[in-house]
Amino acid sequence: MRAADVVETFPTARLDDAVLPAVRMMLREGLPGLLVTDDHGRAVTGVSSVDLLRAVLPNYVRDEPCLARLYGEEHGDLIAARLMGLSIHEVIGGLAGRIPVARRQATLVELAEMMARLGCSVVLVERDADSMLGMVTANGLLKALVAAVEGRPG
């Protein structure tokens, strides 16, 4: 099996879409990420739920994690409010390249190695040099691997 055989299509968000509705869609659908499309509807990248969490944290907290302890519960709303008014493009600007990209011909072992090495539960799969076919999630990959094992004789 190849990456193109296990790729999943996800709801998409356009680069100019607001982040908050995209986050709501991810939560409603239980998605680990979203495909991001250009003005022509071609998937160009992806954004994971972890990327969105990273985007709401102030730079100084990301740079000095011990500062996170200084925030009380009442400040959680202030952190989440950073999503208000942001576009997907603004979030991706600082995160470009965080989700790995695999060739559509990549094997399941290559996908598993990439996810394990990079600690990423989502891999984008290229359609061609300019667009993405979809995503492979760690759960989807495990499902394909288990199905392959169960389909073997003996």
Q: What is the CATH number of the domain that holds 98?
A: 3.10.580.10
What are the tens digits of pLDDT across the range 96-148? 556 788 999 999 999 999 999 988 888 989 887 777 788 899 999 999 999 88
**81 vs 154 pLDDT, higher one:** 81
Tokens of 126: 């290229």
Count of the separate structural domains present in the chain: 1
Alpha-carbon gap, residue 47 to 49, rounded angstroms: 7
Domain with 34 in it: 3-150
Considering just the CA atoms, what is the radius of gyration of the chain in Å? Answer: 17
Global pTM?
0.69
Q: Identify which of 55-64, 67-76, 136-145 has the greatest average pLDDT.
A: 136-145
* DSSP letter string, 43-76: EEEEEEHHHHHHHHS-HHHHH-GGGGGG--GGGH
- pLDDT attached to residue 96: 55
Q: Which helix (H) or strand (E) holds 21?
A: helix 19-29
